[in-house]
Amino acid sequence: MRGPFPWFGGKSKVAPEVWRAFGDVYNYIEPFAGSLAVLLGRPEDHTNSIETVNDLDHYIVNFWRALQHEPEQVAYHANNPVNEADLTARHIWLVNEGRERIARILGDPDYYDTKVAGWWVQGICCWIGGGWCSGTGKWTSVDGKLFEMNRKENGEDAGVNRQLVHLGNAGQGVNRKRVSLVRYGEGIHRGGLRGVGAGVDTGLAEITAYLSGLAARLRYVRVCCGDWKRVVTEGAMAHGDIIGVFLDPPYDVSMRDGGCYNTDAEHGNVSGEVREWAIANGDNPRLRIALCGYAGEHEMPDTWREYAWKANASYQHRNSDGANKVNRELERIWFSRHCLTEKPAMQNFFDLLEGEK
């Protein structure tokens, strides 16, 4: 199944390769959930499997939990035309009141908010680049009016009452951005949710059906919120003879632009920590581990298999010569020694054709 929102570093394109390496594992763990591209790309019958996903980003976890339980309400709140004024106003609401509303999510495994989920997913589908709901921008609202918090007049903040901002919305601002005017800016209606050539949105019924299908797929998935190490402990991996662990941590901060992930400040440079865990557990016959990164980011033992692939160009960097455009050529996945290596004969043929392209 296809995920409902774009995500920096998403692995939907390479999900088939991951599942060829994992096989039909009984216990699957994804400590950095993001858009869940690999889990949603699982080809086998998964109804008798244990599947656990985790992310430190409260908005992501809230969305997946809300989708599991009330897809119709998430669809209702997500069903909104692409509108720059709405995007800015909702963004300010999300990083202030919305953040307060989902603060419980870290301590309550059953908590979610459908309004935050719907507005968040609709907005991230309209947004270009990073910084969505990061709360690090310069714009906020006071008494329903938009203000630029760092614009000075006579040494004082222009049009912004410091006390009102602090008490009303904790002073968290957003970056104003023009909504994307191409396919990436179609909001929740993008992709298969628009009539081909019709030029009109398909509407609430189609969005609800699509999200309900995702909810059915995720019905028994355990959605955790917190540090990645909590879901790869001995206790978390106690069940199952064979366990697949898909590690897709934020890329090393020295190899990408800052601000790609809202959790950079909390994660730190987690890439090295994840690599150390993978190497320490790579010889465990119960574990089939996949570690993602850029070429040169991880130096792995000779027992690991390195797989090179090319990511799709994002809208933001399609016409850019920046680092992220170069990095799409450097995508790698390292598979631990107990991962499966054989491919069907026809798959080798298709891989050859792809390489020639």
345 and 261 within one domain: yes
> Is residue 144 domain-resident?
no
Q: pLDDT class for 9, splitting at 50, 70, 90?
A: low
Of residues 44 and 216, more confidently modeled: 216
> Is residue 323 domain-resident?
yes
Of residues 199 and 224, more confidently modeled: 224
On the question of pLDDT at 291 being above 90, the answer is: yes
Q: pLDDT tens digits, residue range 164-176?
A: 222 333 445 666 6
Q: How far is it, in rounded angstroms, from Cα 26 to Cα 51?
A: 8
Nearest residue to 241 via CA among 5, 53, 1, 23: 23
> Is residue 160 domain-resident?
no
191 and 272 within one domain: no
On the question of pLDDT at 162 being above 50, the answer is: no
Write down the pLDDT at residue 69: 96
236 and 352 within one domain: yes
Contact 210, 5 (CB under 8 A): no
> Is residue 217 domain-resident?
no
345 and 294 within one domain: yes
> Is residue 116 domain-resident?
yes
On the question of pLDDT at 30 being above 50, the answer is: yes
Write down the pLDDT at residue 176: 64
Among candidate residues 186, 210, 234, the one where a domain is terminated: 210
> Is residue 152 domain-resident?
no
24 and 83 within one domain: no
197 and 69 within one domain: yes
127 and 23 within one domain: no
Q: pLDDT class for 258, splitting at 50, 70, 90?
A: low
> Is residue 220 domain-resident?
no
On the question of pLDDT at 267 being above 90, the answer is: no
200 and 95 within one domain: yes
> Is residue 168 domain-resident?
no
Q: How far is CA 106 from CA 13, 111, 120, 208, 247, in A?
A: 31, 9, 18, 27, 21
Instruction: Tell the burial category of 11 from Cβ atoms under 10 Å away from its Cβ (0-12, 13-18, 19+).
Output: buried
Of residues 318 and 125, more confidently modeled: 125
317 and 243 within one domain: yes
311 and 348 within one domain: yes
On the question of pLDDT at 272 being above 70, the answer is: yes
Q: What residue has token string 């206790």?
A: 235
77 and 200 within one domain: yes
Among candidate residues 152, 185, 210, the one where a domain is terminated: 210
99 and 203 within one domain: yes
Over range 183-207, report the average pLDDT.
Answer: 50
Contacts of 118 (CB under 8 A, 6+ apart): 66, 73, 74, 75, 76, 77, 78, 79
CATH number of the domain bearing residue 37: 3.40.50.150
Q: How far is CA 259 from CA 107, 250, 310, in A?
A: 26, 11, 22
Among candidate residues 182, 210, 238, the one where a domain is terminated: 210
Q: pLDDT tens digits, residue range 322-341?
A: 555 567 789 999 999 999 98
Of residues 247 and 4, more confidently modeled: 247
Domain extent for 281: 12-56+226-356
Q: Please state the pTM of the whole predicted model.
A: 0.79
Q: What domain count does the chain have?
A: 2
On the question of pLDDT at 36 being above 80, the answer is: yes
Over range 18-27, report the average pLDDT.
Answer: 95
